[in-house]
């Protein structure tokens, strides 16, 4: 195993957490470049007076597989999205010129993933991003929960492989650990009294996945958008086979940005008199005014809690939003890397989450 883990400035702390998790696997206790957490610091980014940049590799990577963590969304270095992208492209170029054997880009959240629709006179941001990475020498691209399944077809597998890992397993496991805990509660409380709601018709597949996993009802929100304006919803119709009064509702989605969609949805669901409304999301973008909107709903008693992964930098946001529960993803990222560098099957990471089996294993583990 001749590989190294590193990161652009936007994700060095996250990469270090992944390395720490990787060290817990006995197979990696003595692997060079892994047992040294500082391995993520081999890249240096120089910014010139006129704003141009240059990325420098400060040690030899010749003949090594390089796993590069990066983020172009809100990040720990407070780098704007476009600068983060340019730095990523410079880094790929530097790694290629440094004669890395293979370049694997691990971008937990792809900030341009929503720009995936083809139209005559608009750019397709995700296509531009993926094609740039592939054409510059990236051979494997890993991410969590792309905005749509069709996005995976944007890369030619003969040039660059793509693994879109279903990260919502992290959220399902968190619900089991924090709120369900045993099969009795699952059968007697969750199945008759919980329901999972999509944010729109396009999100029905995701909400159905949660509903099927927990054996609870599905609610579909059919929203009408104003496509002349970003983040704008005109109206929402709630479709449910069962009354929602007195139920614990979970709105599930791949991301929340400004909070405009969930704002309208929470208002529409509240009219049905549920016991409580919660949100479970993979990517917590929380662009302004999301924190204000969500906090107001929590203060008014319309929203109970928000569960989100840490694929987008959250430290400054976690202090702003009440009742935000952040689910770590570093351990799962470490498992992905372990399977890749050891050429092990990835199938288990794509399997549907078995709630009953997980709860049984937890009970056995706890004695």
Closest by Cα among 185, 166, 188, 165 to 175 = 185
Q: In Å, what is the CA distance from 258 to each residue of 108, 230, 315?
A: 20, 10, 18
Residue 38 pLDDT > 80: no
Strand order in the sheet with 218-225: 233-240, 218-225, 194-198, 248-256, 276-284, 306-309, 324-327
Domain assignment of residue 360, yes or no: no
Domain assignment of residue 203, yes or no: yes
- On whether both 76 and 185 belong to a single domain, the answer is no
- On whether both 199 and 313 belong to a single domain, the answer is yes
pLDDT at position 37 is 52
Domain assignment of residue 356, yes or no: no
Model confidence at 32, pLDDT cuts 50, 70, 90, reads: low
pLDDT at position 60 is 93
Looking at the chain, the number of H-run helices and the number of E-run strands are: 13, 14
pLDDT at position 150 is 86
Task: Establish how many alpha carbons lie within 13 A of residue 168's alpha carbon, considering only the half-sphere containing its beta carbon.
Answer: 25
> Are 126 and 310 spatial neighbours (Cβ–Cβ below 8 Å)?
no
pLDDT at position 367 is 39
What pLDDT, in 10s, does the model give residues 56-113?
999 999 999 999 999 999 999 999 999 999 999 999 999 999 999 999 999 999 999 9
Q: What is the rounded end-to-end Cα distance, in angstroms, of the chain?
A: 37
pLDDT at position 301 is 95
What pLDDT, in 10s, does the model give residues 108-156?
999 999 999 887 788 999 999 999 999 999 999 999 999 888 899 999 9
What pLDDT, in 10s, does the model give residues 158-194?
999 999 999 999 999 999 999 999 999 999 999 999 9
| Residues 6+ positions from 227 with CB-CB distance below 8 Å | none
- On whether both 106 and 250 belong to a single domain, the answer is no
> Are 197 and 174 spatial neighbours (Cβ–Cβ below 8 Å)?
no
3-class DSSP state of 317: helix
- On whether both 226 and 98 belong to a single domain, the answer is no
- On whether both 136 and 228 belong to a single domain, the answer is no
Q: In Å, what is the CA distance from 8 to each residue of 11, 24, 50, 312?
A: 6, 24, 21, 14
pLDDT at position 233 is 53
202 vs 222: CA distance, rounded Å: 9
- On whether both 300 and 344 belong to a single domain, the answer is no
pLDDT at position 175 is 98
pLDDT at position 316 is 76
Domain assignment of residue 318, yes or no: yes
- On whether both 244 and 187 belong to a single domain, the answer is yes
When the pLDDT of each residue in the chain is averaged and rounded to a whole number, the result is 91
- On whether both 236 and 318 belong to a single domain, the answer is yes
- On whether both 102 and 53 belong to a single domain, the answer is yes
- On whether both 54 and 161 belong to a single domain, the answer is yes
Query: Domain of 214?
Result: 168-328
Domain assignment of residue 24, yes or no: yes
Residue with the two structure tokens 């990222």: 333
Closest by Cα among 146, 128, 163 to 336 = 163
- On whether both 104 and 191 belong to a single domain, the answer is no
The per-residue DSSP string of 89-118 comes to HHHHHHHHHTT-SEEEEE-SS-TTTT----
282 vs 104: CA distance, rounded Å: 22
Domain assignment of residue 361, yes or no: no
Neighbours of 32 (CB within 10 A): 12
Domain assignment of residue 357, yes or no: no
Q: How far is CA 243 from the centre of its chain?
A: 32
Q: How far is CA 31 from the centre of its chain?
A: 28
What pLDDT, in 10s, does the model give residues 252-305?
999 999 998 899 899 999 999 999 999 999 999 999 999 999 999 999 999 999
Burial (Cβ within 10 Å: 0-12, 13-18, ≥19) of residue 86: middle
Residues 240-256, mean pLDDT to the nearest whole number: 95
| Number of domains present in the structure of the chain | 2
- Residue 253: CATH number of its domain: 3.40.50.2020
Model confidence at 357, pLDDT cuts 50, 70, 90, reads: very high
Ranges of H-type helices in 176-329 = 183-185, 191-193, 204-214, 260-270, 290-299, 315-318
Closest by Cα among 148, 147, 215 to 175 = 215
Domain assignment of residue 56, yes or no: yes
Residues 230-235, mean pLDDT to the nearest whole number: 57
SS3 content of the chain, % helix, strand, coil (to 5): 40, 25, 35
Neighbours of 353 (CB within 10 A): 19
Maximum mean pLDDT: which of 29-33, 235-239, 308-312, 348-352: 308-312
Residues 8-17, mean pLDDT to the nearest whole number: 94
- On whether both 56 and 83 belong to a single domain, the answer is yes
355: tokens are 């709630």
167 vs 316, residue with greater confidence: 167
pLDDT at position 232 is 54
258 vs 266: CA distance, rounded Å: 14
């Amino acid at each position: 195993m001749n590989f190294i883990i590193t990161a652009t400035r936007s994700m060095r702390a996250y990469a270090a957490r992944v390395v720490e998790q990787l060290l817990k696997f006995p197979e990696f206790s003595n692997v060079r470049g892994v047992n040294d957490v500082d391995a993520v610091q081999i890249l240096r980014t120089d910014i010139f007076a006129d704003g141009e940049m240059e990325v420098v590799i400060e040690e030899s990577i010749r003949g090594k597989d390089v796993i590069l963590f990066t983020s172009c969304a809100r990040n720990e270095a407070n780098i704007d999205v476009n600068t983060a992208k340019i730095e990523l492209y410079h880094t790929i170029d530097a790694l290629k010129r440094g004669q890395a054997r293979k370049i694997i880009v691990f971008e937990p959240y792809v900030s341009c993933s929503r720009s995936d629709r083809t139209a005559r006179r608009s750019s397709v941001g995700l296509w531009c991003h993926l094609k740039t990475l592939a054409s510059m020498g990236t051979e494997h691209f890993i991410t969590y929960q792309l905005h749509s399944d069709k996005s995976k077809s944007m890369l030619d597998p003969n040039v660059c492989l793509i693994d879109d890992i279903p990260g919502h397993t992290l959220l399902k496991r968190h619900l089991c650990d924090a709120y369900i805990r045993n099969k009795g509660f699952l059968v007697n409380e969750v199945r008759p009294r919980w329901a999972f709601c999509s944010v729109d018709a396009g999100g029905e597949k995701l909400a159905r996945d949660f509903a099927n996993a927990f054996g609870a009802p599905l609610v579909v929100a059919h929203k009408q958008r104003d496509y002349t304006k970003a983040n704008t919803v005109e109206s929402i119709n709630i479709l449910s086979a069962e009354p929602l009064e007195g139920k614990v509702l979970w709105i599930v989605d791949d991301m929340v940005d400004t909070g405009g969609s969930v704002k309208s949805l929470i208002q529409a669901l509240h009219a049905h008199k549920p016991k409580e409304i919660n949100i479970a999301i993979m990517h917590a973008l929380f662009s302004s005014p999301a924190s204000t909107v969500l906090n107001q709903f929590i203060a008014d008693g319309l929203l109970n809690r928000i569960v989100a992964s840490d694929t987008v930098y959250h430290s400054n946001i976690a202090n702003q939003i009440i009742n935000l529960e952040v689910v770590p993803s570093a351990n799962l990222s470490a498992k992905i890397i372990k399977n890749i560098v050891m050429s092990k099957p990835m199938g288990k990471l794509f399997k549907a989450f078995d709630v009953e089996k997980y709860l049984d294993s937890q009970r056995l583990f706890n004695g």
